[in-house]
Structure 1
Amino acid sequence: MGRERGTGAGGRRPAGPRLFLLAGSFLITLGSFAVLPYMSVLLHQRLGLGLGTVGAVLAVASLVQFSGGVVGAALAQRIGLRSTMLVALAVRTAGFAAFLPGLDRPAVAVGALFLVSCGAALYLPANKAYLVAGADEAERPRLLSASGSAFNAGIALGPPAAAPFVLGSPGVLFAGVTVLFAVVGLGHAVLLPAVPVTGPAPAGGPDAPAARPGEGVLPFTVTVVSVYVFMFFQHYLALYAVPRTSASFYGVVLMAYACLLVIVQPALSRWIAGLSYRRAMRVGFGAMAAGTAVTGLGGHAGIGAGAALICLGEIVLFLKNDLEALARSSAAPAVVFGRQRLAAGIGAFASGVIGGQLYGAAEGAGMERGFWLAVSLQCLVLPVLLIPLARRGYAGFRTRSGDGLPAGPAGAGGARFGGGAARGAGGGG
């Protein structure tokens, strides 16, 4: 199949398709998180799988979901962004439908989970690339932060919406989610026009200098480390917080965390885009270091305040990493976002492996607070190792005016280090 034809390179698209895509992102995450957070319960309590088996299944599924973004990007390059999203939604719809016969058959349920994970891997790079296609660099922070808010709103509402059905009527839950995904897929087919895969040409025209080898190494590396330290909080807060507070308080913390992401990230998107990468790393990792240290104090106040600080770190780092990845690459946005998903998968996998051993040792010694101190120290040390890479990585990315160096892949705006804004790619990324 050839690439999609659409509005033409550089052409502006109406706001309607983007608004639908944001609404679809909310519904997709709402449906997914009505199911996925409860998978360990369903696999263990209903289907009788051992906890070790459940952990292995969920770890592999998560790795597929993240690292498969590279495959999703390649598919988007071949058949187009909209077509890739349609394939992904068809796969996820089939996966959720397969849970219905899988409610009494463990092998079928595991297969259904992997189908859902494969669909997620294919969908997200094309989704983000479609969202920024045709957008100029000033629009990208707003669009990506709005996308993050849509996803996080679904994350916040999905689990409580599904809680009454998980154990009592799981068939009703999976049937409802299947219908939801089918409707969203139909909307993608009917309401989204095709757009070019690569978007508009970078500023400077077709004869602009090619991207340098290794241009995306730094955002990839920072994304690995950002997700690595964040997933300690994601994976192990429940084990730490529930015995020291309550399950209901933990649920309130998760809900408040998601609401902060929805509200604060769009409000801070322009400020984050204006930060140099070095300063963004300082702010983001600094907030995560403070948050994990405060979490270690325990109690309602410590855990609540720690979660808020970690939320700030996530807001800054995750958005900035995507913006920098786009700014430093001449590849199509779908390829860039696929690489970013792979980086996130590596970070999440490493955090799961290392964190399990670290938390187990801390718990065995009765020093769970020391676990959070160890994570906080990693948040402080790792950026110190990365900032020199940032300085060297930015050395060649200057605008033509002023220093005589060729423009980087960010086009005429460049990506500045030190005092200016770190700008997104002029078009195709």
Structure 2
Amino acid sequence: MSADRTAGTSTRRTTAVRRRFTGPRAFLLAGSFLITLGSFAVLPYMSVLLHQRLGLGLGTVGVVLAVASLIQFAGGVVAGPVAGRIGLRRSMLLALALRTAGFAAFVPGLASPVLAIGALLLVSAGAALYLPANKAYLVAGCPDADRPRLLSASSSAFNAGMALGPPAAAPLVLGSPGALFTGVAGLFALVGVGHAFLPGGQERPEPVAAAPGGTVRRPGLSPFLVTVVSVYAFMFFQHYLALYAVPRTSAGFYGVVLTGYAALLVVAQPLLAERIAALSYPAALRWGFGAVAAGMAAIAGGGHAGIAVGGALLCLGEIVLFLKNDLEALARSSAPPATVFGRQRLAAGIGAFASGVVGGQLYAAAESAGSARAFWLAVCLQCLLLPVLLLSRRTARGRPGPRAGTSPGLGGG
């Protein structure tokens, strides 16, 4: 009997995995890895190429990269209307065509700043359209219980590409950039051909009672606002760790920390996905911001151990906050998933922009006072206060009704 029960459990798990990771979804996850691998083989080196090879001033480079980032994030709000008009598969094909054309245009653009800037903007526009449509296609038609595993697997695929892209391209980026851009354009073209064979006709999910604008009438935390605040807090680490860590350790150690961070993210997020989905939204905020605050405090301690431990804690905070925000945004909206993910991209862009502006002033003030560690302690204090402010705002608006995501796999205590 015990053997039969074990065999039955194993069969059910295998069936669930096959239902969740269908052929098209498995292809999308593999494509997500390849797309991010190609993108991050090039984009992290863009400031070097624009400044050293094309001779643009650093001020101009900063403006160009800021505009490209704005298009990539804020442009996500266009993805929903485009997908609603032409469908998710065609939206992804259009996005990949834009990115393929952009990377191909970098080849003649290596001798022309105008062409190079135009190519970068094309790539950014393609990225704005692709990610919301990709995530929407991934979760289209799946039960709510499958969403955490699918979205966490998507995040892992993207982060694996982000981790491997820069070291893979390092030998070519300055010595043979033409060959690098040609290879990346070819990779995107091949992935685009694969997308052409994906099944079309993904439909909008069955709507639920909603407020104007497609948002479900549930009092409580706004996933859009929480995403803005989450990305704002997290991006202090992303923007300013290099300035702090490299002089105190080494560039090599900083690279090891980033690689370890990416590896932990890839492995841990799928393992924790269902537990994160089972948390209530307030509990997820407390755990997530608590981990980020502890990470900032560890970094303030300095040294190799403090920076490494801080990176690991921040990784756990990112896993909890970013996945839970996406799940809650889906659960609380009757809008098509592509529209929901586009709004989430806009929220991330606002948070990243605010973090860059505030962080620059804060870091400069800390250095002027002779203590860069004070910067990380100030950020730690913010991370402790932010969930308190968000939850107090929720309480002021009234006690919530049924919690978002209480269907199987999305609720819990």
TM-score by length of 1: 0.87
| Corresponding residue pairs, total | 391
1:298-309 alignment, distance < 5 Å: 298-309=302-313
- Map 1:4-403 to 2 at 5 A: 15-190=22-197, 192-199=198-205, 201-202=206-207, 209-211=209-211, 215=216, 218-391=222-395, 395-398=399-402
Rounded Cα–Cα distance in structure 2 between residues aligned with 1:113 and 1:412:
42
Task: Quote the Cα distance in structure 1 between the aligned partners of 2:364 and 2:296.
Answer: 17
SS in structure 1 opposite 2:175?
A: coil
Can you list the C-alpha shifts for 1:348-399, whole angstroms capped at 9, x where unaligned?
Answer: 1111111112112222332111111111111111111101344567845428
Separation of aligned partners in 2, 1:295 and 1:105: 42
Higher deviation after alignment, 264-273 or 104-113: 104-113
Partner AA of 1:73 in structure 2: G
Mark the runs of 5 or more structure 1 residues left unpaired by the alignment: 1-11, 203-207, 400-407, 422-429
Cα pair 2:145 2:408 within 8 Å, conserved: no
User: Are the structure 2 counterparts of residues 66 and 169 from structure 1 closer, same or farther at C-alpha, using a change threshold of 3 Å?
Assistant: same
Q: 1:254 to 1:394 in 2, by over 3 A?
A: farther
* 8 Å CA contact retained: 2:210, 2:333: no
Q: Distance in 2 between matches of 1:18 and 1:144?
A: 11
Shift of 1:302: 0.7
Deviations along 1:289-318, one digit per CA (max 9) or x if unpaired, are 010111111111111000000000000000
**3-state SS of paired residue (1:296):** helix
Listed as ranges, the gaps of 5+ residues in structure 2 are 1-18
Give the conservation status (yes or no) of the 8 Å contact 2:145–2:410: no
User: Structure 1 residues 412, 397: closer, same or farther in 2, change over 3 A?
Assistant: farther
Alpha-carbon displacement from aligned partner over 1:117-143 (angstroms, at most 9, x marks no partner): 100000011000000001001000000
Alignment RMSD (CA, Å): 2.0
1:402 equivalent in structure 2: none
The alpha-carbon distance between structure 1 residues 182 and 297, as it changes in their structure 2 partners (threshold 3 A), is: same
The code of the aligned residue for 1:386 comes to: L
- In the TM superposition, what is the alpha-carbon distance from 1:253 to its structure 2 partner? 0.6
Please give the alpha-carbon distance, in whole angstroms, between the structure 2 residues aligned to 1:153 and 1:339. Answer: 24
Name whichever of 383-392 and 82-91 sits farther off. 383-392
Tell me the alpha carbon deviations over residues 394-420 of structure 1, each in whole angstroms, 9 at most, x when there is no partner: 845428xxxxxxxx7x6977976xxx3
Q: Structure 2 counterpart of 1:278, which letter?
A: P
Q: Is the 8 A contact 1:43 1:49 kept in 2?
A: yes
Correspondence for 1:6: none
CA shift for structure 1 position 22: 0.2
Distance 2:226 2:407 in 1: 25
Q: Distance in 2 between matches of 1:391 and 1:277?
A: 13
Q: Deviations over 1:5-62 (max 9, x none)?
A: xxxxxxx797000000000000000000000111111111111111121112111211
* 1:85-144 alpha-carbon deviations (Å, 9 max, x no partner): 000000000110111111111121111111111000000110000000010010000000
Identity %: 72
SS at match of 2:335: coil
Counterparts in 2 of 1:212 and 1:71: CA distance versus 1, 3 Å = closer
Give the number of the structure whose residues are more often helix, by fraction. Answer: 2
Tell me, in whole angstroms, the C-alpha distance in 1 between the residues paired with 2:398 and 2:340.
18
The 1:412/1:244 distance shift into structure 2, 3 A limit, reads closer
Moved more, 124-133 or 101-110: 101-110
The alpha-carbon distance between structure 1 residues 374 and 128, as it changes in their structure 2 partners (threshold 3 A), is: same
1:169 Cα offset (Å): 0.6
1:79 to 1:13, Cα distance in 2 relative to 1, 3 A: farther
Query: When the two structures are superposed, what TM-score results if normalisation uses the length of structure 2?
Result: 0.90
Change (3 A) 1:395 1:182: same
Give, as a single letter, the amino acid of the residue that structure 2 aligns with 1:151: F
